[in-house]
Amino acid sequence: MRHLLITAPFPTHLVDKIRAVSPNLHIEQRTLPNGRWPEEWTTEAEIYYALSGVPPLANAPNLQWVQTHYAGVDSLKDSELWQSDVLITTSSGVHAVNMAQYALTQILVWSNRVPNWFKYKQTKQWGDNRWDTFVPQELRDKTLGILGYGSIGRELARLAKPFGCKILVTKRDARQLTDTGYSALGSGDVEGNLPDRIYPSEATRSMLAECDFVVITLPLTERTHYLFDEELFKAMKPSAFLVNVGRGAIIKETDLVRALKKGWLAGAGLDVYEEEPLPEDSPLWALENVILTPHISGFTPHYDDRATDIFVENLRRYLAGEPLLNLVDRGEGY
């Protein structure tokens, strides 16, 4: 029997879906107190589906593979597990549908000047010049730049293309176009055919100069920490709008505030921040050209179902000795 430990609070029907992969599975479910692995806990599990906390390796001597419930692995980088040979896979792709929809919503809200709809409704007057106040931008023939062409970026490209947008993307390896990770059926851009142009990460500045909208979907690594600083903001069009659904620390917020105040870009839509929740004294709260949300772009009622689908496929592959989806590259940090 292969021992599998699950600490995600999956309901019975999802556990049964996992159990159906093989009759040789012994499945154990536990709930981590406060999301942490207690020092006194041990497990004989070979496979661990982790909601949050991971065990010291001495407490899990048989551990061979950890599947995380989330897409990011930032919290694991200081762990003993990260330095080991234990396989780590993620739930990357689980958010793609809803996060791409969120990013497109930010773009549509900005381009249609939706904040003015609510502002003038409160005044009970439309103002003197409806054209100046409400005329929208059309997305047709606008250029959308996507930083990071993973599952979220690919789904965003699929959604934006019918609007007539020109799609530019940055990709760490611009030669590898095929998506080898998980994607929900009918979503994304598996073959990498949708972008009009693909830039290597080193050419980000050049790409930004062409974009009317820029969406960050990157993971947080040593390479992407504070990637967006004053230099890149100055490279953007003054009329451009920036959306961040990646990680807050990809943007240097002090530089972003300066850029928004000085008009180096027109506005920003932020769902993630350097410090969360966003502090009450953050100057971002007071800027009219910023749309803020409390890290909710990843929310979806289908999360556990999609995460289970990813794990079921990976479990099948693991037991068959096949390559796993979403295998973490420790060198790259994701």
Give the pLDDT confidence score for residue 78 in this predicted structure. Answer: 87
Q: How far are the Cα atoms of 100, 316, 317 from residue 321, in angstroms, in the given order?
A: 33, 9, 6
Write the pLDDT tens digit of every residue in 156-188. Answer: 999 999 999 999 999 988 888 999 889 888 999
Tell me if domain 2-94+301-320 and domain 96-292 are identical in fold. yes
CATH fold of 2-94+301-320: Rossmann fold (3.40.50)
What mean pLDDT do residues 245-263 have?
Answer: 98
**Exposed / middle / buried, residue 235 (Cβ in 10 Å: 0-12, 13-18, 19+):** middle
What mean pLDDT do residues 112-116 have?
Answer: 96
| pLDDT above 90 for 74 | no
Q: Return the closest-CA partner of residue 69 out of 5, 146, 121.
A: 5
* Residue matched to tokens 């979907």: 217
Give the pLDDT confidence score for residue 50 in this predicted structure. Answer: 97
Give the pLDDT confidence score for residue 253 in this predicted structure. Answer: 98
DSSP state of 171: E
| pLDDT above 90 for 244 | yes
Domain 96-292: give its CATH code: 3.40.50.720
User: CA-CA distance, 123 to 141, in Å (whole number)?
Assistant: 34
Sheet holding 25-29, edge to edge: 25-29, 2-6, 47-50, 65-68, 87-89
Please report, rounded to a whole number, the percentage of residues in the chain having pLDDT higher than 90.
93
Domain ranges of the chain: 2-94+301-320, 96-292
For residue 6 the two structure tokens come to 């699950």
Q: How far are the Cα atoms of 197, 256, 320 from residue 263, in angstroms, in the given order?
A: 27, 10, 56
Q: What are phi and psi of 229, to 5 degrees?
A: -125, -170
Collapsed DSSP state (helix, strand, coil) of residue 48 = strand
Task: Name the amino acid, one letter, at 20.
Answer: A
Provide the annotated active-site residues.
Answer: 247, 276, 295
User: CA-CA distance, 169 to 189, in Å (whole number)?
Assistant: 12
Write the pLDDT tens digit of every residue in 195-243. Answer: 999 999 999 999 999 999 999 999 999 999 999 999 999 999 999 999 9
Whether the bond into 277 is cis, omega within 30 of 0: yes
49, β-bridge pairs: 6, 67
User: CA-CA distance, 175 to 192, in Å (whole number)?
Assistant: 10
Q: Return the closest-CA partner of residue 257 out of 239, 231, 230.
A: 230
Q: How far are the Cα atoms of 110, 287, 307, 310, 326 from residue 277, in angstroms, in the given order?
A: 23, 17, 25, 29, 28
| pLDDT above 90 for 147 | yes
Q: Give yes or no for a contact between 179 and 198, defined as CB atoms under 8 angstroms apart.
A: no
Give the pLDDT confidence score for residue 174 in this predicted structure. Answer: 85
* Residue matched to tokens 């249609």: 112
Which of 10-14, 128-132, 210-214, 289-293 is the least confident region? 128-132
Provide the pLDDT confidence category of residue 130 given band limits of 50, 70 and 90. Answer: very high
| pLDDT above 90 for 75 | no
How many Cα atoms occupy the beta-carbon half-sphere of 277 within 13 Å? 6
Strands (E), the chain: 2-6, 25-29, 47-50, 65-68, 87-89, 143-147, 166-171, 197-200, 213-216, 241-244, 267-270, 290-292
Q: How far apart are the two ends of the chain, measured CA to CA in Å?
A: 31
H-state helical runs in the chain: 12-19, 96-111, 114-123, 130-134, 151-160, 204-208, 230-235, 253-262, 303-320
What mean pLDDT do residues 100-105 have?
Answer: 98
| pLDDT above 90 for 325 | yes
Give the pLDDT confidence score for residue 180 in this predicted structure. Answer: 86
What mean pLDDT do residues 121-147 have?
Answer: 96
Give the pLDDT confidence score for residue 110 in this predicted structure. Answer: 97
Collapsed DSSP state (helix, strand, coil) of residue 67 = strand
